[in-house]
Amino acid sequence: MLIKTLSVGMLDTNCYIVTDEQTLECAIIDPGADSGTILDYIESNRLKPKAIFLTHGHFDHHMALSATAEATGSPAYINKRDALTSGRSQLKLKTGGSVSYYSEGDIIQIGNLGFHIMETPGHSPGSVTIQCETALFTGDTLFRDSCGRTDLEGGDMDTLLSSLKRLSLLDGEYEVYPGHAESSTLSRERTFNYYMINAAGSK
């Protein structure tokens, strides 16, 4: 598995291109902006996009969705709770793509890679974490040393803490790839992240 991180847009959203190196099939996670940058990477490496995954519906995670979907013909996926929340997202695509809903327990196969969907609400009602092998793509649920804000429409701190507790209880070690800023590991966040420590200790 090859993971490429592209920092896009004014809010420096992390867009991830996750590739099965055997087949060159890939998934695009959170095309927040700068479709040209995303598509240039895909084209220059002769990748075969098969899906676009959104960790949640906030605008800075999908502003390049229509352009990337139209150029690649890839279907887009989002949790229904964010797709249908008024004012949260505009996910109607132009020609060349469609929007599907994924939910807890779904597994989407891209080449030899299985992308497992975990519902982790709190930052938004439909936030998900996407697990692929030993990688967790946490969107704005979990950051290095922090977590997503909950003062936007649909946010809820108690719900977010429950999601962080769930992540903290995962067996094994994982790399954490958040929606903004630098990556981390789950063991590091269990040890140093105030919000995750607080969540883990809650009932």
Q: Write the DSSP symbol of residue 161.
A: H
CA dist., res. 184 & res. 165, Å (int): 17
Contact 65, 35 (CB under 8 A): no
CA angle 23, 130, 192 (to 5 degrees): 125
Which CATH code fits 2-200?
3.60.15.10
Sign of CA dihedral 142, 82, 135, 201: positive
Amino acid at the residue 54: L
Give the per-residue pLDDT at 83: 79
Give the DSSP H or E segment for 184.
Answer: strand 184-185
In whole angstroms, how far apart are CA 102 and each of 18, 58, 75?
A: 18, 16, 12
Q: The tokens of 147 are what?
A: 């977590």
**What would the two tokens of residue 50 be?**
């098969």
Give the span between the Cα atoms of 75 and 50, in whole angstroms. Answer: 7
CB 27, CB 5: distance < 8 Å: no
Token digits of residue 194:
């105030």
Q: Which residue in the block uniquely carries the two structure tokens 């996750």?
A: 18
Where do the structural domains in the chain lie, given as residue ranges?
A: 2-200
pLDDT by 10s per residue, the chain, length 203: 999 999 999 999 999 999 999 999 999 999 999 999 999 999 999 999 999 999 999 999 999 999 999 999 999 999 999 876 544 444 555 445 678 999 999 999 999 999 999 999 999 999 999 999 999 999 999 999 999 999 988 999 999 999 999 999 999 999 999 999 999 999 999 999 999 999 988 76
Pairing label, strands 107-110, 99-101? unpaired
pLDDT in the model for residue 84: 63
